[in-house]
Amino acid sequence: MDDMNNLQQRLMTADRPTLLVMLAEAIHELTIRARYFYDRTDALGGMQETNEAIHHVSGHLRDLIDPIEPTTASRGDSIVTASELLPQRAITRIYEFTA
């Protein structure tokens, strides 16, 4: 998907403060997504998928607070994969900083 390839490229070229803000916003959007499943009887799969995404993105945020920690392609892949759970409008809003 071209949009997701562009997203990874933007993640890799963002300055560190901007990247950290984007990750924090992605985590926030993922928690909003998780709330959707609260009242659903078939919620377990969606909640687990969302929780895994939050786990991955928050781990990258934690690690990247250290200025010497590299922004690697595998980190970009993981962040893009987690971001795919979000609606396109959220992805555009969060990652437009580096467009």
Residue 12 structure tokens: 């890799």
pLDDT value at residue 5: 77
pLDDT value at residue 49: 94
Q: Hunting for tokens 């929780």 — which residue is that?
A: 51
pLDDT value at residue 7: 87
Residue 80 near residue 91, CB atoms below 8 Å:
no
d(CA 41, CA 92): 31
Residue 77 structure tokens: 């892949």
d(CA 32, CA 77): 22
Give me the tens of pLDDT residue by residue for the chain, a chain 99 residues long.
467 778 888 899 999 999 999 999 999 999 999 988 888 888 888 899 999 999 999 999 999 999 999 999 999 999 999 999 999 999 988 887 544
